[in-house]
């Protein structure tokens, strides 16, 4: 290659075979999402034991559950956008170390304030790590596959929940609830070491930020082995822009304002109902005569359906378009979650309805994030994904509190699940109202949520 050679980074990533470092990078990022689901599940499994040891009344456990969810929202909304300024990898690495360390610290909590503080900071790390992982993985694959990749990445969330349940059933009776937090803390710290050693920075981000050519050449050579580049090469393929002090404002630039709001509504509903279904269903169904053990089986089926649909959500959007896929997913969720309240106390009926909920919400949640991953340009991609996911975290924080108010007001179980079904209908209407346009330069996914140029 001559001294005057020019390499279009986006074109290189588009044409090169996906393998080696890129497959490893996607796998490492998927593990980040897995630990998100694992952490949120183990606190629920450990909650009764924690309540006894710290003398927390059952009603007070709501604050324990919400502490990490609040941290998740703050991390996604406030900290994840830092990755658009200082780099995907460095922010991701710091976030993984954060949630690993404070998961371990949870075991040492000797008071309720300490427990809430540890859970909140754990949530900060998780809320920052997941959007960074999605942004980094999506920028290491061809642009047309970004939504497809986001689906399997987010499938790690329900897989983590299943893994936590399997480990919890074995470890808690023999080793105590603390054992889950040992696994949930040490494993992310090991993952952080692997990220530091093996995960490359996004070449697209490096070009966008005007990094030294030597660093871009070194990174691109890792991502695409065999490509002849060196420090004398001129790299193009991403338009350099000055990053604003408040890049979130660019999510509301003329042309994408309305669709950003609609995306947020869909995300709020998808994640809010998802968490409510997982956390409140056993409590709501118990007075109707549904044993907790049977509800656990139904929720296992819910998670299984969610794993399949979450992995498929991004691909379905890439293949058929968001306006076709997301409304159907939300409609399926509405039928399932509304049906739970109607068919109870039939355990077989509840199990069937929970499968529908898992399929619908799995596809809707991964589809929303997959859409965000392809809808925004490089300069604000982590901001866009972080805010879409952060608003979803606000939904997951708010939903259980709303259902708690309804339960305290002695609403009928069918009525509570009916409200959740109505919320799913609202999410579907928001998804249907998004206006697709042709892909922009450097943003090649066939369907985006934007209404104008980025």
Mean pLDDT, residues 331-357 taken together: 92
Whether 313 maps to a domain, the answer reads yes
Please report, for the chain, how many H helices and E strands are present, in that order.
Answer: 16, 2
Q: Is the dihedral of CA 252, 254, 258, 260 positive or negative?
A: negative
Residue 91, pLDDT score: 92
The pLDDT > 90 percentage for the chain reads 20
CB atoms under 10 Å from CB of 117, counted, come to 17
**Residue 7, beta-bridge partner list:** 235
Q: How confident is the model at residue 144 (pLDDT cuts 50, 70, 90)?
A: low
- Higher pLDDT residue, 129 or 13? 129
- Give the per-residue pLDDT at 449: 41
- pLDDT greater than 50 at residue 373: yes
Residue pointed to by tokens 């969330």? 157
Residue 244 has φ and ψ, to the nearest 5°, of -75, 160
As a 3-state breakdown, the chain gives helix, strand, coil percent values, each rounded to 5, of 80, 0, 20
| Highest mean pLDDT, choosing among 56-65, 212-221, 274-283, 330-339 | 330-339
Residue 391 C-alpha from the chain's centroid: 11
pLDDT number for residue 4: 54
Does 3 map to a domain?
no
Residue 22 · residue 146 · CB < 8 Å: no
Helix (H, G, I), strand (E, B) or coil at 234: strand
275 or 373, higher pLDDT: 275
pLDDT in tens, 166-191: 777 677 778 888 888 999 999 999 99
Mean pLDDT rounded to a whole number for the chain: 78
Which range (156-160, 290-294, 411-415) has the least confidence?
Answer: 290-294
pLDDT at site 98: 95
Confidence category of residue 444, pLDDT binned at 50, 70, 90? very low
Residue 415 and residue 245: Cα distance in Å, rounded? Answer: 45
Quick one: which of 351, 268, 311 has its CA closest to 34?
311
Does residue 115 belong to any structural domain of this protein? yes
Most confident of 51-55, 213-217, 318-322, 327-331: 327-331
Quick one: pLDDT at residue 453? 30
Asked whether residue 31 is assigned to any structural domain, the reply reads yes
Alpha-carbon gap, residue 284 to 298, rounded angstroms = 14
pLDDT band at 292 (very low <50, low <70, confident <90, very high): low
* Confidence category of residue 225, pLDDT binned at 50, 70, 90: confident
Residue 281 lies in a domain: yes
pLDDT band of residue 16 (cuts 50, 70, 90) is low
Task: Note the pLDDT tens digit of each residue in 233-247.
Answer: 676 764 444 444 446
83-92, 318-327, 337-346: lowest mean pLDDT where? 318-327
Q: Is 239 contained in some domain?
A: no
Q: Is the model's pTM score more than 0.95?
A: no
List the beta bridge partners of residue 8: 236
Is 37 part of any domain?
yes
Domain hosting 77: range is 11-202+244-433
Residue 365 lies in a domain: yes
- Decide: helix, strand or coil at residue 287: helix
Is residue 431 within 8 Å of 323, Cβ to Cβ?
A: yes
Segment 382-389 shows an average pLDDT of: 77
> Given a cut of 70, is residue 411 above it in pLDDT?
yes
Q: What are 54-101's pLDDT values in tens digits?
A: 887 655 666 777 788 888 878 877 888 888 888 888 999 999 999 999
Confidence bin at 10 (pLDDT 50/70/90): low
pLDDT in the model for residue 445:
36
Count of domains observed in the chain:
1
pLDDT of amino acid 443: 30
* CATH (domain of 384): 1.20.1250.20
């Amino acid at each position: 290659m001559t001294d005057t050679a020019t390499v279009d980074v986006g074109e290189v990533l588009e044409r090169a075979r996906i393998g080696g470092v890129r497959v490893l990078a996607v796998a490492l990022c998927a593990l980040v999402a897995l630990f998100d689901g694992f952490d949120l599940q183990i606190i629920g499994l450990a909650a009764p034991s924690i309540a006894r040891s710290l003398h927390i009344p059952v009603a007070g456990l709501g604050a324990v559950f919400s502490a990490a969810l609040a941290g998740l929202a703050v991390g996604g909304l406030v900290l994840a956008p830092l990755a658009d300024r200082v780099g995907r990898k460095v922010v991701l690495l710091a976030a993984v170390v954060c949630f690993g360390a404070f998961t371990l610290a949870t075991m040492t909590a000797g008071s309720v304030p300490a427990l809430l503080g540890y859970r909140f900071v754990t949530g900060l790390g998780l809320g920052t790590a997941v959007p960074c992982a999605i942004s980094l993985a999506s920028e290491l694959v061809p642009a047309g596959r970004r939504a497809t990749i986001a689906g399997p990445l987010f499938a790690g969330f329900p897989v983590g929940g299943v893994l936590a349940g399997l480990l919890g059933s074995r470890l808690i009776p023999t080793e105590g609830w603390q054992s889950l937090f040992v696994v949930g803390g040490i494993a992310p710290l090991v993952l952080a070491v692997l990220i530091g050693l093996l995960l490359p920075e996004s070449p697209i981000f490096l070009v966008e930020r005007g990094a030294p050519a030597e660093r871009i050449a070194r990174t691109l050579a890792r991502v695409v082995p065999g490509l002849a580049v060196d420090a004398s090469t001129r790299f193009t393929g991403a338009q350099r822009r000055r990053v604003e002090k408040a890049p979130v404002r660019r999510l509301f630039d003329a042309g994408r304002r309305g669709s950003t709001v609609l995306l947020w509504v869909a995300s709020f509903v998808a994640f809010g109902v998802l968490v409510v279904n997982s956390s409140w269903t056993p409590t709501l169904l118990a007075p109707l005569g549904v044993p907790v053990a049977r509800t656990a089986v139904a929720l296992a089926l819910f998670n299984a359906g969610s794993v399949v649909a979450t992995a498929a959500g991004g691909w379905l959007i890439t293949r058929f378009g968001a306006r076709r896929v997301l409304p159907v997913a939300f409609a399926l969720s509405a039928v399932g979650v509304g049906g739970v309240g109607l068919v109870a106390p039939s355990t077989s009926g509840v199990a069937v309805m929970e499968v529908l909920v898992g399929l619908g919400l799995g596809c809707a949640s991964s589809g929303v994030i997959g859409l965000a991953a392809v809808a925004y340009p490089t300069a604000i991609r982590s901001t866009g994904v972080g805010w879409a996911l952060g608003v979803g975290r606000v939904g997951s924080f708010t939903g259980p509190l709303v259902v708690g108010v309804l339960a305290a007001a002695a609403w009928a179980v069918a009525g509570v699940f009916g409200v959740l079904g109505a919320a799913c209908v609202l999410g579907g209407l928001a998804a249907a109202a998004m206006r697709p346009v042709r892909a922009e330069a450097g943003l090649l996914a066939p369907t985006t949520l934007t209404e104008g140029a980025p």
